[in-house]
Copies of this chain bind each other. A is one copy, B any other.
Amino acid sequence: MMDNKIKEIEKILQEHEYKLTKPRIKMIELFLERSDHLCPEEIYNKIKHESISLPTVYRNILVFKDLGIIKETNINNENVYELNMFSEKRLHMHFHCKRCGQIIEYNNREIFNHMIKQQQYIEAQFGDIVENYSVVFDGICHLCRQQEE
């Protein structure tokens, strides 16, 4: 299951003449097992016991980002990364709660459809081809609202 995904990502790396090193495999495994958003420091901390250095984390983030394996989102002036491959995680609409700092990711067809329409409209109306989008809502999340009452 997850093994297939690793294999698939490894194939992409090899097709682009990147070598399959231990740090890269560890990073990919981490992205596959964690579905939340990780910043470079967190990635480093989770796998440094397997021996990896922070510069290598940064260098491989660049590689994975260029290949479309991961996606970068800037939330609250911090770059966070998540898997970009595999259909369930293609939407990338985020909500950042000002109060608790939590990042919620919406994986909802309705929301997704709105975005697709938006994209199609822009392409038709202005001729700008949308390859990617980053959407970050912020405000107060439902949990913090409950605590207010």
Contacts and interface: CB of A to CB of B under 8 A. Distances in A.
A95 B130 contact: yes
Interface residues of A, number: 37
A100 to B, nearest CB: 11
Contacts of A130: 95, 137-139
**Listed residue (A79, A135, A141) with the most chain B CB atoms within 10 angstroms of its CB:** A135
A145 interface: yes
A142 B74 CA distance: 25
A138 B133 contact: yes
A131 B125 contact: no
Interface in A111-149: 111, 114-115, 117-119, 121-122, 125-142, 145
A21 interface: no
A44 B60 CA distance: 34
A133 B128 contact: no
Given A111-B122, A114-B121, A115-B118, 7 more contacts: A74-B77, A77-B79, A106-B122, A111-B121, A128-B141, A129-B139, A129-B141
